[in-house]
Amino acid sequence: MQKFDDNKNIKTYKDKAIFKRLLKYASRVKWMFILSLFFTAILVGVDLLPAFLEGELIGTLQDEALSNAYKMNFTLILLGGYAAIIVASCFLNYFNTMMLQKAGQKIVLDIRKEVFVKIEGLAIAQINATPVGKLVTRVTSDVNMVNELYTNVIVNLIRYLLTILFVLIMMLILSPILTAYILCVMPFLIAMTILFNKISRKQYRKVRGSVSNMNAFLSENLSGMKITQIFNQEEKKTLEFLKKNNELKKNNIKEVLIFGVFRPAIFVLYILCHIIILYNGFYMVIEGKMLSKNLVKFYQYNGQFFNPIQQLADQFNQLQSAFASAERIFEILDTKTQILDKEDAIVLDHIEGKIEFDHVWFAYNDENWILKDISFTIEPNQTVAFVGATGAGKTTILALIVRNYEIQKGSIRIDGIDVRDISLESLRKHIGQMLQDVFLFSGTIRSNITMRDDRFTTEEVVNACKYVNANHFIEKLDQGYEYEVLERGNNFSSGERQLLSFARTILHKPNIMILDEATANIDTETEVLIQDSLEKMMNVGTMLIVAHRLSTVQHADNIIVLHKGKIMEMGNHQELLAKKGLYYHLYELQYKHMADQEG
């Protein structure tokens, strides 16, 4: 089973491949990015003005042939023009930033939707193989890191590269000789950048993995805090948290260390170039080979040349983080869903409810068979129960009918059609499932019953609740059907949650209903309501029941007794008791247990 392992990536991508895929998303708003690049080029040009104007100003002030009045007027004109350009560039920068943010948010919206839809389409086995916290990290923080790439990193990279290019042109114009000295340092700079890129990428993967592991731990332990407190395991869980927290700290420190070595190295090269310029520049001015104002300009441009290089280090920092996150996102998007519709999958508008298992074999892992050569037929509108010890394969049979998993041998047919030939949406549309562990979403009672489907009217919701006896407790609540449901429905009892799941199922009018241990751990008063609901629901369509309480299945048309993945007996309640086989012994043991409790 594939897991999205954050400690060791299953699949890695080359930078070129990642960048190419990210550009495809950017192409959806390409005109916004093209316009942004145009504005960026203008802003880069504006950034080069101060050094040029400063040199011109110094040259003018040093020119003895010019009058003081001319020098003053020239200075005021230069400063006024520059001030006007700066104000205009501020507005341009604001507009450019807002446009980039909007473009980035549009892209992130698409990516996050694509990732969520992909996760929704994965098979249950694939989702169960990965902690929820790790999947949440992919959809949230990893996508946010990619957002930084579009709104900040790419444009800044281009801005700094344009700055370097424009500055080099200006430096060549001012002094080709000094520029040649500066370019001699470039091979060392390029070598350090390549080394930094290689080392930092590995470390960023570890950092993102540690963040994901931390989120997975928090998600699991916050959900299970009640058990932690019951067994006084707070100290142990704190130690486990500290271990993961320290792992994240160590990886972050290593990341900072790598960056902390790279940037000072760039600064050393920057100082070296300054020394070269000052030494050779003064000599050239003294020899009359260079004007002093041009030396000032060149000196200023050297700072502007290395400043974007140092900033590029920051951008490489964010670029590697974004690429590491993109890699984790693409890992999900490129994961092959285990259960897919065939190209010519059949869409069923209606089903009668006949179910056939024909020599079915199934194993979750390899050939550790959970079901072994299972064959049976369920006629439309029949109520069939599956009984047996824990691990006999009862719940697995129900999961296979809705194709949560694929069988290895045999076939499962509904109305004579193999379930693998039916589209998943239309198959599950006609099957209602009521499980032991009822999941309720945050919202209202109404939204949980309708699953936020506005097609259902209030009257239909009320009628569904009355049909399954859920109205008895709902109508006692202050806000009735608009009563707020807390996370996981923790403000309702197990029985109340189960009745709500019954109402949800009845409202969607399935032709086949699956009841998996829905009466377990329910108080006696609620069980009476549930038993009455079950008797009504048996008339809706085909019903499949898994229950340990044999009193729940006594009225079933057929009872299938399972043991270690095989069918041992079949028949109704009275027939199986008459055989005095496995069902008889299960019934006898349960009856005796109930008698002992009453005694």
pLDDT number for residue 11: 57
What DSSP character marks residue 456? S
Residues 6+ apart with CB under 8 A from 164: 305, 308, 309
Tally the residues of the chain.
599
Give dist(CA 196, CA 592) in Å, integer.
73
Give dist(CA 530, CA 470) in Å, integer.
9
pLDDT number for residue 151: 82
Q: What are phi and psi of 336, to 5 degrees?
A: -80, 120
pLDDT number for residue 9: 46
- Which residues of the chain carry a pLDDT beneath 70? 1-12, 51, 55, 57-66, 310, 313-314, 518-527, 529-530, 591-599
pLDDT number for residue 4: 56
279 contacts 288 by C-beta, under 8 angstroms: no
pLDDT number for residue 518: 61
pTM across the whole model = 0.71
Burial of 40 (0-12, 13-18, 19+ CB in 10 A): buried
Which residue reads 């496995």 in tokens? 582
Give dist(CA 264, CA 147) in Å, integer.
28
Give dist(CA 474, CA 241) in Å, integer.
41
Amino acid sitting at position 450: T
pLDDT number for residue 599: 47
What DSSP character marks residue 438? -
Question: Tokens representing 283?
Answer: 């000599």
Give dist(CA 228, CA 235) in Å, integer.
9
Give dist(CA 177, CA 188) in Å, integer.
19
User: Of all residues in the chain, what percent are helix, strand and coil, respectively (each to 5)?
Assistant: 65, 10, 25
Nearest to 262 by CA among 204, 206, 202, 311: 311
Give dist(CA 255, CA 229) in Å, integer.
36
Strands 512-516 vs 484-485: parallel, antiparallel or unpaired? unpaired
